[in-house]
Structures are given as structure tokens and as C-alpha cells.
Amino acid sequence: MQAIKNINYIPPITDAKRIPVRKLNISHNSLYWLCQISGWGFFTLLNLLIISSFESLQPERIFMGIYFMLAGIGFTHIFRKLIKKLNWLELPLNKIIPRVIISSILLGLAIYLVVYSISFFSGTIAKEDYTAIKPAVGIINTTGISLVWALIYFSIHYLQNYKKTEIESLIWEAAVKDYELKTLKSQLNPHFMFNAMNSIRALIGEDPESAKIALTKLSNILRYSLKMERAESVPLGEEIETVKDYLDLEKMRFEERLKYELNIGKSASFVEIPPMMVQTLVENGIKHGISKITTGGEININSKVENSLLYIEIRNNGHLEDDALKNSKGFGISNTKHRLNLLFGEAASFSLTNENGGKVLAKLKIPISLDKNGAG
């Protein structure tokens, strides 16, 4: 379990997953130009409407508005390229603010000089209409609109970056969970096989015929184990068949010291559960409980479906020390808790408690996906 905390590799995103990103870049560029043209166009039209409410709108004013719109689009586009080239979007806020203010003043001055120079030399507006106050007001206005443009641009970009970071975080988290689940599943096989092979080894010298039967049961378990490597979940009924084979193997080794009883509800048999979860807990009960009792003991497995939840109870003779309960020591306990948390979050639960009469109860609660488990 410790190795899982030090994950150094997450599989890279394939080329197939990168294709939609290129499509998003194309649409983003189109959206930028749509916003540029519509934004400056709307601002220009609004200015012309305001002017027309005070005086008759002359063609010269309209031409001047067009010059202003084209200059605004051109200079802000150059400003955008400059922002990207200098990597301003990567800077902290305290360094961006002064740069944006100074750039907006220079941008406003540039737009004003171009628009009014064209208007002046082309005769769009008569020379006598130019007064000393007009340049100051014009520069303030163009600086203001440039500042608004910069604020909108940076705000949109930071919002996009935030969403991108959030998506990447979710992708990374999903990849980590997938990696952890596969690691957990790969850890189950060595632990299970070690105990199974010990059971057969104990039978070979004493009872060859029983050893043959045990090998048949082991082949069933191996077949299930291979399937488990490719499956995210298995029907409870299929898991129980493997548990039964395992218990029969252990019963040959323990003889009369081991008894078991299976009480699996019909509807519960079809419910999908994480593979090897029940098997691991049964193994745990025998290893830490029954095997330590001279007279042996009994394994009882009960399951039922209630309110779209699958309940599984595994009882075995034994006693769990308080330290083990508090610290969740033992492969079966820690593995089960971690797998349930990765797959179902808080919707699932696992508890391990001592009961009166020298019994240990392992209780699982697993949510049922109705579209996947119609029988549930």
C-alpha cells in the first residue's frame, strides 16, 4: 500500500484525445474576432447614436466612426500579440496592473492620433472644429475604452485558464485513481495465491486425491483471477463461487476445524461488486481469526439488497484487537477501505467490529447502479 503514495508516472494523453483541443483553438480564434468586430462596432454605433441625439449626423461623423472602429480593432490586436509575446498572462497580478494601465494610456493615445490625423488631413472634419480641449477629451475616452478592453481580455483569459486547470486536475485525479485501482488489483493476486498454494502443499503428501480436487478448484480460482485483471466489477454470485472454491480448499486443510455457510439473496447475486473484495475479507477472517483458534470456527456470509444498496456481512470466529480496529492494520482492512473510497466515495462504507460470542463482523455497504444491475 505504501507504494501507491509515490506515483511517479501517469499515462500520457493519446493523440486521439488531443484532436478536440485543436478544434477548440480554431473556434476560440473565431470567437475572438467576432468579439473584436462586434465589440468595437457596437461602441462606435453607440457613440454615433449619442451624437445624433444632439445634432444631425453628417457623413463625416460616420466616416470618423469607421476610422475609429478600424483603428481600435487594429491596435488592440497588436496589443494582444504583444501580451502573448511578453508572456504577461503568466505574470502575477501586482506586475500586470501597472503594465495594463501604462499600455492603455499609450494605446488610447495611438488610436486618437491615427483617427484624428486621418480626419484632419482628409478634411473629414473642418479645421475650425478642432479646439484645445478636444485632444484631451479624445485621449481620455480612447484610453478608457482601451483599459476596458484590456480588463475584459485578461478576465476572459484567466477564466479560461481556471477552467483548463480544473479540467486538467480532474483528468489527473482520474488517472491517479485508475492507476491506484490497477495497483490494488495487482496486489490481490500474490496475496491470494500465496495462501492457496500453501493449502495445496499441505495436502499433497497427506492426501493426493484431495490434492487433485484442490487443483481443480485452484484452476477455477485462477480462471476467475485472470478475468478479474480485465474487469472493473463482477457479479456477487460469481465472486461467491470463487469464495466457495477457496473455502473448500481451506476446509481440506483445516478439516473439521472449518465450517462455512453462505446465504446470498437472489437479487444480490446479480449486483456488481469490486472483484476479489469478499474473497480478501474471507481470507483475512481465516488467517487472523479461525487459524488462531485451536478448535477452529465458522465463516458466515450473508447478503441482501435494500433501498438500492447491497449489504454484505461476513462473520468469523476470532477477536480483533482494539489497536487493529483504530489503525486499520492488515491487508484486508486497508485494501477494502481504499478500494471502496476510490470507486464509490462516501456512498459506500466498510466496518469491522467485534461481536458478542467471540465473533468478528465485516460489513460492506455498496451502492447499486440500476442501469448496470437491473436485477438490483
Fold of 205-367: Heat Shock Protein 90 (3.30.565)
Whether 255 has a pLDDT exceeding 70, the answer reads yes
pLDDT at res. 27: 65
Whether 364 has a pLDDT exceeding 90, the answer reads yes
In this prediction, residues 250-258 reach a mean pLDDT of 83
pLDDT at res. 153: 85
Query: Does the pTM exceed 0.85?
Result: no
pLDDT at res. 182: 61
Using alpha carbons only, what angle is made at residue 174 by residues 169 and 179, rounded to the nearest 5 degrees? 125
> Rounded to whole angstroms, how far apart are CA atoms 47 and 183?
65
> Rounded to whole angstroms, how far apart are CA atoms 237 and 241?
6
- Give the pLDDT band (50/70/90) at residue 261: very high
Least-confidence region, from 15-19, 55-59, 102-106, 159-163: 15-19
Cα Rg of the chain (Å, integer): 36
Q: What is the average pLDDT score of the chain?
A: 77
Tell which wins on pLDDT, 228 or 25. 228
pLDDT at res. 196: 67
In this prediction, residues 74-99 reach a mean pLDDT of 86
pLDDT at res. 17: 39
Determine the 3-state secondary structure of 140 from DSSP: helix
Whether 39 has a pLDDT exceeding 80, the answer reads yes
- Give the pLDDT band (50/70/90) at residue 22: very low
pLDDT at res. 237: 93
Amino acid at site 200: I
CA atoms within a 13 Å half-sphere pointing along the CA-CB vector of 149 = 29
pLDDT at res. 24: 44
pLDDT at res. 139: 82
Q: Report the side by side order of strands in the sheet with 349-355.
A: 258-264, 297-306, 309-317, 359-367, 349-355
> Rounded to whole angstroms, how far apart are CA atoms 143 and 72?
11
Whether 305 has a pLDDT exceeding 90, the answer reads yes
The domain spans of the chain are: 15-173, 205-367
> Rounded to whole angstroms, how far apart are CA atoms 42 and 64?
15
pLDDT at res. 299: 95
Determine the 3-state secondary structure of 265 from DSSP: coil
- Give the pLDDT band (50/70/90) at residue 128: low
pLDDT at res. 361: 94
61-65, 110-114, 170-174, 363-367: range with highest mean pLDDT: 363-367
Tell which wins on pLDDT, 241 or 35. 241
> Rounded to whole angstroms, how far apart are CA atoms 268 and 266?
5
- Give the pLDDT band (50/70/90) at residue 313: very high
Tell which wins on pLDDT, 237 or 159. 237
pLDDT at res. 160: 75
In this prediction, residues 293-316 reach a mean pLDDT of 94
In this prediction, residues 104-110 reach a mean pLDDT of 88
Question: Measuring CA to CA, which residue among 278, 274, 282, 176 is closest to residue 228?
Answer: 274
Least-confidence region, from 107-116, 120-129, 216-225: 120-129
pLDDT at res. 4: 34
